């Protein structure tokens, strides 16, 4: 199975939670990284899974987050380089 990641960067923690909830419900993905900047006013969540699952999750997360706040970025990276995964992974492998 090809691994992919999706990054969803939004303004405000509540928007991030709404987007992550939609991503988790839309497809079989797992949360691997959360980054909070500016005291939680800019939040990035990263999920991983198969390419098709991550793509579906990203679309759902972006749409849901846009309904409650400001989406700065939503991007899918298929087959990320292992060094990128080392940088992002926060769960035990």
pLDDT category of residue 93 using cuts at 50, 70 and 90 = very low
For the chain, give the percent of residues with pLDDT over 70: 92
Question: How much is the mean pLDDT over the chain?
Answer: 91
- The pTM for the full model equals 0.89
Question: Is the pLDDT score of 82 beyond 60?
Answer: yes
Q: Convert the pLDDT of each residue in 1-22 to its tens digit.
A: 579 999 999 999 999 999 999 9
70, 38 Cβ separation under 8 angstroms: no
Backbone φ and ψ for 26, nearest 5 degrees, come out as -80, -30
Supply the pLDDT for residue 21. Answer: 98
CB neighbours of residue 47 within 10 Å: 25
8, 42 Cβ separation under 8 angstroms: no
For the chain, give the percent of residues with pLDDT over 90: 78
């Amino acid at each position: 199975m090809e691994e992919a990641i999706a990054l969803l960067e939004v303004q405000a923690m509540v928007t991030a939670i709404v987007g992550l909830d939609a991503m988790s419900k839309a497809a079989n993905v797992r949360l691997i990284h959360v980054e909070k900047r500016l005291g939680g006013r800019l939040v990035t969540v990263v999920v991983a899974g198969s390419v098709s699952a991550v793509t579906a999750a990203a679309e759902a997360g972006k749409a849901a987050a846009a309904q409650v706040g400001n989406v700065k970025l939503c991007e899918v990276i298929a087959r990320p380089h292992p060094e990128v995964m080392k940088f992002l992974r926060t769960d035990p492998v």
